[in-house]
């Protein structure tokens, strides 16, 4: 994910365990189907901003794409499995400059929503515009403001374990309506089964949500046109019940 580099460092070792129920393969195929409708070549070069441990990148590569993944967290990148068609680099989506263009730039799993300040969002769009070839795509999913206001964030807890470790994570959200942001306070409890060690730690994830009009303005300012806006994975029209909206933009 693209955010302050230390946000995910503490939880990097348990990140994939926390999200083991996500079907990254099916998500990747859905994403590619969406992009191919708008001209992505079957062997197109992809840039993923906020690639994390490379969960999606490896699936894109498995079906013929070359993928360059960027993430600010060394800890996340160190846990990525190697793939001959995936190249992972440490960097920040707001400022990275690779000196090459791609058929599509991606920001998945709400990476854009981690850009909490207006200046961060603009810089992120600028990075996408610089790296998308003329006519290339920029695709991302975001927290959708109408749903955040209608459904309202609630406290949640998840528990995960494998043969080596057990983790409990509680989430306490706090809305900042003036800045279109939700500050999610995470508390982790970890039990390492082999050593018997138990420890806790905290993380603060500041998540920005967006209206459709905001994305239109951001896209226009960065030289993109909107091709598609729909509920992520379902394809339904965005509504007050649509927490995650998928956008596909084209560089004009």
**Is 2 inside any structural domain?**
no
**Is 215 inside any structural domain?**
yes
Instruction: Mark whether 224 and 154 lie in a shared domain.
Output: no
Q: Residue 184's domain is classified under what CATH number?
A: 2.20.130.10
pLDDT of residue 7: 82
Domain count, the chain: 2
235 vs 42: CA distance, rounded Å: 21
**Is 6 inside any structural domain?**
no
**Is 85 inside any structural domain?**
yes
Instruction: Mark whether 94 and 216 lie in a shared domain.
Output: yes
Instruction: Mark whether 22 and 50 lie in a shared domain.
Output: yes
> Coil, strand or helix: which one is 43?
coil
Instruction: Mark whether 110 and 193 lie in a shared domain.
Output: no
**Is 129 inside any structural domain?**
yes
Instruction: Mark whether 99 and 220 lie in a shared domain.
Output: yes
Instruction: Mark whether 113 and 226 lie in a shared domain.
Output: yes
250 vs 248: CA distance, rounded Å: 7
What domain range includes position 190? 148-207
Q: What is the DSSP string of 122-143?
A: HHHHHHHHHHEEEEEEEEEEEE
Question: What Å distances lie between residue 207 and 115, 134, 136, 173, CA to CA?
Answer: 7, 30, 27, 10
**Is 39 inside any structural domain?**
yes
Instruction: Mark whether 71 and 124 lie in a shared domain.
Output: yes
Per-10-residue mean pLDDT, the chain, length 252: 62 93 95 98 98 96 98 94 97 97 98 96 98 98 98 97 96 96 97 96 96 98 98 97 98 96
The DSSP code for 3 is S
Instruction: Mark whether 164 and 58 lie in a shared domain.
Output: no
pLDDT of residue 6: 60
Instruction: Mark whether 110 and 202 lie in a shared domain.
Output: no
Q: Residue 76's domain is classified under what CATH number?
A: 3.40.50.150
Question: What Å distances lie between residue 235 and 33, 137, 192, 240, CA to CA?
Answer: 11, 18, 40, 15
At 194, give phi and psi (nearest 5°).
Answer: -65, -50
Instruction: Mark whether 51 and 132 lie in a shared domain.
Output: yes
Instruction: Mark whether 128 and 243 lie in a shared domain.
Output: yes
**Is 5 inside any structural domain?**
no
pLDDT of residue 8: 85
Instruction: Mark whether 90 and 33 lie in a shared domain.
Output: yes
pLDDT of residue 3: 44
């Amino acid at each position: 994910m693209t955010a302050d580099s230390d946000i995910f460092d503490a939880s990097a070792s348990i990140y994939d365990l926390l999200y083991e129920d996500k079907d990254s393969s099916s998500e990747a195929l859905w994403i590619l189907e969406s992009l191919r409708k708008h001209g992505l070549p079957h062997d197109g070069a992809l840039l993923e901003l906020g690639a994390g441990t490379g969960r999606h990148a490896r699936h894109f590569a498995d079906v013929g794409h070359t993928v360059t993944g960027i993430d600010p967290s060394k800890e996340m990148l160190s846990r990525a499995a190697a793939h001959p068609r995936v190249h992972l680099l440490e960097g920040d989506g707001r400022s990275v400059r690779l000196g090459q263009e791609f058929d599509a730039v991606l920001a998945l799993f709400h990476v854009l929503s981690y850009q909490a300040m207006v200046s961060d969002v603009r810089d992120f769009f600028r990075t996408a515009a610089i790296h998308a070839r003329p006519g290339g795509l920029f695709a991302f999913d975001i927290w959708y403001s109408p749903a955040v206001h209608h459904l309202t964030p609630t406290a949640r807890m998840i528990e995960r374990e494998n043969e080596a470790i057990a983790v409990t994570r509680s989430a306490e959200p706090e809305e900042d309506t003036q800045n279109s942001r939700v500050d999610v306070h995470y508390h982790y409890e970890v039990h390492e089964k082999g050593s018997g060690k138990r420890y806790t730690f905290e993380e603060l994830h500041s998540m920005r949500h967006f209206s459709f009009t905001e994305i239109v303005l951001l896209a226009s300012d960065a030289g993109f046109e909107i091709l598609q806006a729909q509920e992520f994975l379902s394809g339904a029209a965005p509504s007050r019940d649509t927490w995650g909206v998928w956008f596909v933009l084209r560089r004009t």
